[in-house]
Structure 1
Amino acid sequence: MTARTGPLSDVRVLDLTQALAGPYCTMLLADLGADVIKIEPPAGDMSRGLGPFPADRKGCDYGGYFASVNRNKRSVVLDLKRDADRETFFRLVQTADAVVENAKSGVMDRTGVSYERLREIKPALVYAAIRGFGDPRTGASPYADWPAFDIVAQSMGGLVAVTGPQGGGGYKAGPAVGDIYPGTLAALGVVSAIHAARRTGQGQFLDVAMYDAILALSEMIVYTYSGAGVIREPGGNGTPVLCPFDIFPTRDGAVAIAAPGENHWKILCDAIGRLELVTDDRTCNVNRRVANADFVRGILSEWTKAHTTREIVDAIGGKVPVGPVNTAKDIFEDPHPRTRAMLVEVEQPGDNPPLVLAGCPIKLTGTPSGIYARAPRLGEHTEQVLADAGISIAHKEQS
């Protein structure tokens, strides 16, 4: 892609975020066409210093971490601790639909760019915050002043306690879902609030607590405890309510097989040469298979371990829900991500080859989303953005 064509092409967002949760939120908005202006301090977003790094470090002042979640954005350097730069920011606010930040509670207030101050400048402004434990404006938390990272949110929100091998103490998820899921929800909140502001003329404050987001993601643990007094524990690669619904070892890797329905179970039994299991009292319906899950898993494991992953996928693919456990190398070799624009080569500054990034999974036919620009160098668009807002560099220096 070479231009902003997404459905949010008439939206401007001022991005005060750093690290992952906030930048992921604004990345989604940018992929969907929003003009996202990343306001960075003179030292830049902390994630610029995280790898993997390109060979030409002088030509590119960021690594893969920053490149991934800051594509499609423009970078402006402003030191909001300085009166002149803060006034410049206020002028940019007049041109924006939303401001997004992910500092600890109270940081932006002390800097002089609180929601209340910005609302005075533009009543229709949407102000979004992503914090570990939320903001007092939407509900007090005893942890409001605590710092938080992905692993803390995963732990406190209940995800770790139900993830990992049976009988274990819990595992964090591999991807940083404690950042990425709150960021995703915040993007939805921003779009919803802008929709309301355009209808009413009034903006609003919204926030997403990382703890809250992971608790919502782990919703099953809430109703099972409330309704049955059951405290869910790590369940390995299966689930306590469906069977088979597991990861099974193969001769050269592992494969996911999900056949809880009776039709899929019959097809699977036929494929493994065990049609008698269709009527066996231990496996004749999903409830009996759940009650005898170890027996079912044992039979299927014997079959899967005798075959390669490819052989199993070829045997039941398209008939029974099945999929290989892919590594990144496997994903790069799979035709699906390429044809779906989920592996996108993006140019990098300096004398560096393109970097492949995960594409936007939200596909639209009329207003396509996607990656149209690489991540910006620090301050790369300062002059351009200020000029667009009618702020000359000379004015900025004098103000």
Structure 2
Amino acid sequence: METTTEKSALAGLRVLDLSRVLAGPWAGQLLADLGADVVKVERLGVGDDTRTWGPPWLQDDSGEPTDESAYYLSANRNKRSVTVDLGRPEGQHLVRQLASKADIVLENFKVGGLAQYGLDYASLKAANPHLIYCSITGFGQTGPYAPRAGYDFLIQGMGGLMSVTGRADGTEGEGPVKVGVALTDVMTGLYATVAVLAALAHRDRTGQGQHIDLALLDVQIATLANQAANYLVGGVVPQRMGNAHPNIVPYQDFPTADGHMIIAVGNDGQFANLCAVLGQVQWSTDLRFATNPQRVKHRDELIALIREMTVSRPTDEWVAVMEKAGVPCGPINRLDKVFADPHVDARGMRIEMPHPLAGKVPLVANPIRMSETPVQYRQSPPALGAHTDEVLDAWLGLSGDDVAMLHRQGIV
């Protein structure tokens, strides 16, 4: 039986997820959270690359490690796993059959990599003209870099993100730094989801499917946001500034008596409130600091003055008094503090789901809150091939004998 309910926003949609690692699976998980029936096709006996990307590993009831990595668990909730040998014609035929029953296909093979199996868009469209087919690659389907493999770290460098991330030249610890999560992959997964939903809206109006070409490099450049605009409009190449902001001051970390905190002043009124909290009301009328453009111009002077004040009290005290005064601020939390935060707890951002190997598995909740069609947590990230038999029955109507034959032949 299929694992969607009528209360889910995408109930009734079928997604064939041929992707692996993070960008494609992230999109697949989001669609699954929203109610689509997502079938993850994995290599027979091997599975998604991230299944081996550990430690840490999920532990069973006795505390022994299972073969499920935390990385894999982060991106594959609410899916069903089917294993197929794509190297054999029978396996290719089976996946083509599944694709003929799908609304959406997600894939992140190298450009042209699925054509040899008859699983490229042109081949599948012939049998399923309503199909929405989303290809995710490092560099896209066209252009001189199209044949190259693309990885998040590589793209963060090539796409400019690392050029604006890290300590400034001439300071301690200087140099480019990647973001601490595979952010380009995650953002590409989000763009893929948006594109798929837009294509579904188009199909609802016209009946037409389409091919979506998403490149990690394109996404990375697009999400440089104000930094890219700063360069295109101002003609000056942005530089690494540590935790400072190129367009807003003060908007960075500051030392306290027991660590560091973030002050994120977004307008002149908030700056006046900050000055009052620091006991330096005169700064808010000082011509060097009264407006944000002037504060940006005199950044070094102002930041030095604020730092002299913030070291006098511990972080928690500053946060309490600044919040009361309407100054955006906060601590720099480690993940243990994040998940212990009372607000994070109240928002339910940590969930647990039943798991066949471990009894239960802790996961991060989906942040989407919908009043009429809420996210549903139906199934933990699947064990390799756990749903092969039921999917072949539900999607293709294969009998138990037919599926048993495929197992004996080593096709599934």
TM-score, normalised relative to structure 2: 0.91
- Contact (CA 8 Å) 2:81, 2:387: kept in 1 or not? yes
> Does structure 1 residue 53 correspond to structure 2 residue 32?
no
Partner of 2:81: helix, strand, or coil? strand
Q: 1:28 aligns with which of 10, 17, 30?
A: 30
- Contact (CA 8 Å) 1:3, 1:372: kept in 2 or not? no
- Contact (CA 8 Å) 2:96, 2:118: kept in 1 or not? no
Displacement of 1:170 after TM fit? 1.9
Partner of 2:384: helix, strand, or coil? coil
Partner of 1:120: helix, strand, or coil? helix
> Does structure 1 residue 8 correspond to structure 2 residue 10?
yes
Q: 1:152 aligns with which of 129, 151, 154?
A: 154
**CA distance in 2 between partners of 1:287 and 1:74 (Å):** 53
- Contact (CA 8 Å) 1:84, 1:396: kept in 2 or not? no
**CA distance in 2 between partners of 1:291 and 1:44 (Å):** 54
Match of 1:234 in 2: 240
Match of 1:391 in 2: 398
> Does structure 1 residue 100 correspond to structure 2 residue 102?
no
Match of 2:409 in 1: none
- C-alpha spacing 1:2/1:98, structure 2 compared with 1 (3 Å): closer
Q: Which amino acid aligns with 1:153?
A: I
- C-alpha spacing 1:141/1:397, structure 2 compared with 1 (3 Å): farther
> Does structure 1 residue 190 correspond to structure 2 residue 196?
yes
Q: 1:285 aligns with which of 291, 299, 307?
A: 291
Match of 1:341 in 2: 348
1:377-388 counterparts in 2 under 5 A? 377-388=383-394
RMSD of aligned C-alpha atoms?
Answer: 2.0
- Contact (CA 8 Å) 1:197, 1:203: kept in 2 or not? yes
Displacement of 1:398 after TM fit? 5.8
Give % identity: 37
**CA distance in 1 between partners of 2:19 and 2:333 (Å):** 32
- Contact (CA 8 Å) 1:67, 1:375: kept in 2 or not? yes
Partner of 1:284: helix, strand, or coil? coil
Gaps of 5+ in 1: none
Match of 2:410 in 1: none
Q: Which amino acid aligns with 1:261?
A: N
- C-alpha spacing 1:356/1:398, structure 2 compared with 1 (3 Å): closer
- The number of residues matched between the two structures is 394
- Contact (CA 8 Å) 2:43, 2:84: kept in 1 or not? yes
Deviations 1:24-82 (A, max 9, x none): 11111111111110011101111111221123398943111111110110011111222
1:1-399 counterparts in 2 under 5 A? 5-42=7-44, 43-51=46-54, 52-56=56-60, 60-135=66-141, 140-167=142-169, 168-318=174-324, 319-350=326-357, 352=358, 354-389=360-395, 390-396=397-403
Displacement of 1:328 after TM fit? 0.2
Partner of 1:241: helix, strand, or coil? coil
Partner of 1:54: helix, strand, or coil? strand
Which sits farther off after the overlay, 48-57 or 20-29? 48-57
- C-alpha spacing 1:302/1:60, structure 2 compared with 1 (3 Å): same
Which sits farther off after the overlay, 245-254 or 382-391? 245-254
TM-score, normalised relative to structure 1: 0.93
